[in-house]
Amino acid sequence: MVSQPLIPVIAIDGPSASGKGTVAQGVAAALGFHYLDSGALYRTVALAAVEAGTNLENESRLSSIALNLKAEFSGDTVVIKGRDVTDAIRTERVSEAASRIAGLAKVRAALLERQRGFRRPPGLVAEGRDMGSVVFPDAALKVFLTAGPEERAARRYKQLMGKGMRATMAALLQEIQERDARDSDRSVAPLQKCADAVLLDTTGVPVEEVVTQVLALYQRAQQVP
């Protein structure tokens, strides 16, 4: 058995549409590491809850869904009971529900070990909002990505348009600002930059350049005795 601390983790946190998902996948591909989109876990729970008509304030019921949900993750593809829900978990309705349930302690506790289970040789790149602060506090490298809210809204708009979904820039900007406040102010695992995380502002910076920066930071971290 390989001791968990010997399996390196790169934790990439940041607010919605900061580019952490694309960057994390690029870093994972470059290193041959596994990839964890922690937000997808919360989104699958949210989708299951919404489709079942579950009250989003029923913490016990939601934690039960989180514990028992049979979901398969492969790259950025998510499958539940043979059904590809990759696009379904990215709708605005599910995004809103995921943001709400992510603040519930029992739901976070139910998903904690499942997230840590993604830590397998040769390594893991994990992205989310509390990867460095809560899930992998011993990560070899912690990065906090950010970008201006207008740019993040534009990225989200482009993403939704590419999938044929309707959206307006004004609504997306408001949603991002409200989610930032909700994620930062919640009492359980709030969105925050760890003291030992490197801050990278991706505003106006090409994805490839950010990936290169993170890889350089990881190489430097590996050289520290």
Query: Would 17 be classed as within a structural domain?
Result: yes
Q: Within 76-206, where are the H helices? A: 92-101, 105-116, 149-162, 169-185
| Average pLDDT across the chain, whole number | 90
Rounded Cα distance, 93 and 183, in Å: 17
pTM: 0.87
**pLDDT at residue 182 in the model:** 81
Residue 1 pLDDT exceeds 60: no
In-domain check, residue 70: yes
Q: What is the pLDDT of residue 5?
A: 58
- Measured distance CA(76)–CA(160) in Å, rounded: 16
Domain annotation covers residue 21:
yes
Residue range 134-157, pLDDT digits in tens? 999 999 999 999 999 999 999 888
Percent of all residues in the chain with a pLDDT value above 90, rounded to a whole number: 63
Asked if 140 contacts 198 with a C-beta cutoff of 8 angstroms, the reply is no
Q: Does residue 27 contact residue 19 with C-beta atoms inside 8 Å?
A: no
pLDDT of residue 3 exceeding 60, the answer is no
- Within-domain flag for 225: no
Q: Are strands 141-146 and 198-201 parallel, antiparallel or unpaired?
A: parallel
Does the residue 223 lie in any domain?
no
Per-residue pLDDT, averaged over 89-102, amounts to 89
CA distance 165 to 167: 7
Residue 167 forms part of a structural domain: yes
Bridge partner residues of 74 (DSSP) = 77
Q: Give whole-number Cα distances, 22 to 48, 51, 64, 70, in Å.
A: 25, 28, 30, 25
2 pLDDT higher than 50: no
At 137 the three-state DSSP class reads coil
Q: How many domains does the chain have?
A: 1
Quote the longest CA-to-CA distance of the chain: 52
DSSP summary character for residue 187: S
- Starting from the edge strand earliest in sequence, which strands make up the sheet with 77-80, in order? 71-74, 77-80, 83-84
What mean pLDDT is predicted for residues 45-71?
94
Radius of gyration, alpha carbons of the chain: 17
164 compared with 28, residue with greater pLDDT: 28
Residue 80 lies in a domain: yes
Domain membership of residue 224 (yes or no) is no
The CATH number given to whatever domain includes residue 71 is 3.40.50.300
Output the six-digit token pair for 72: 């398969």
Q: How far apart are CA 7 and CA 215, in angstroms?
A: 17
Domain ranges, residue 30: 4-218
As beta bridge partners, residue 78 has 73
Residue 170, number of CB atoms within 10 A of its CB: 9
3-state SS assignment for residue 193: coil
- Residues near 32 by Cβ (< 8 Å), separated by ≥ 6? 122, 123
Give mean pLDDT, residues 34-50.
Answer: 94
* Local confidence band at 116 (pLDDT 50, 70, 90 cut-offs): very high
Average of per-residue pLDDT across 2-11: 77
